[in-house]
């Protein structure tokens, strides 16, 4: 995927935001096509989910030092789940295996890693929502608000302090749009597409945990 992505982005045929929005709209369509099924039984393939999540990794790479924590909290977790998809077909399978083994919240478990990936998706959702709604229209303002809402409650003081310091190293709004090969208008449209498509995916993952009586406050 990486080679294809790099070639597509370089010739302008596809941008990272286009790829992210497209991938999550496909996931949302898959879930919506099964709306008549029990929400818990609506099976989402793990490899399909990971492929969509991999596009978001590109965005984290564009955000610089402030989001370095995402490399361990998101990128490596997606890689772990992608490896797991070789032997486990669906998100349900990895959760059920960890439930039966009592390893849902164990460091390095697939269920824990899925929880962290879900958090990363929600962080980008919040970032996109605030990107065009903050009064100062800065990336730092949007990123700081998104982090405070989504990740800060679960991070230690040390991590929160490091992230706060890193926010000053974020690229400017214009530089980020240039990196993404977008204008204000095109970026807003694609970011809003991602927000709309990611919400049902995030809610679906939460329901998988709740169905198994797993709390979401971790």
Give tens-digit pLDDT for 139-198. Answer: 888 999 999 999 888 888 998 898 888 888 888 889 999 999 999 999 999 999 999 999
Among residues of the chain, what percentage have pLDDT more than 90? 59
Residue 171 backbone class (left: φ over 0; alpha: ψ -120 to 50; beta: rest): beta
Three-state DSSP class for residue 90: strand
Alpha carbon distance 66, 163 (integer Å):
5
Q: Domains of the chain by range and CATH? A: 2-211 (1.10.3520.10)
Average pLDDT over residues 104-108: 93
Please give the model's pTM, rounded to 2 decimal places: 0.88
Both ends of the chain: CA-CA distance in Å? 31
């Amino acid at each position: 995927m990486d080679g294809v992505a790099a070639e597509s982005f370089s010739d302008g045929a596809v941008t990272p935001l286009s790829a992210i929005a497209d991938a999550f709209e496909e996931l949302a369509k898959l879930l919506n096509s099964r709306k008549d099924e029990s929400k818990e039984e609506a099976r989402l393939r793990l490899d399909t989910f990971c492929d969509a999540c991999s596009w978001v990794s590109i965005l984290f790479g564009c955000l610089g030092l402030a989001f370095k924590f995402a490399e361990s909290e998101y990128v490596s977790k997606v890689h772990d789940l992608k490896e797991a998809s070789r032997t486990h077909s669906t998100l349900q399978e990895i959760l059920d295996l960890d439930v039966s083994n009592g390893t849902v919240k164990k460091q390095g478990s697939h269920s824990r890693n899925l929880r962290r990936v879900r958090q990363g998706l929600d962080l980008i959702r919040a970032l996109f929502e605030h990107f065009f709604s903050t009064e100062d229209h800065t990336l730092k303002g949007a990123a700081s608000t998104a982090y405070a809402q989504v990740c800060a409650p679960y991070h230690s003081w040390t991590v929160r302090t490091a992230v706060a310091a890193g926010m000053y190293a974020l690229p400017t709004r214009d530089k980020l749009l240039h990196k993404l090969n977008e204008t204000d208008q095109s970026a807003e449209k694609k970011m809003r597409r991602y927000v709309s498509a990611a919400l049902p995916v995030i809610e679906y993952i939460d329901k998988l945990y709740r169905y198994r009586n797993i709390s979401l406050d971790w």
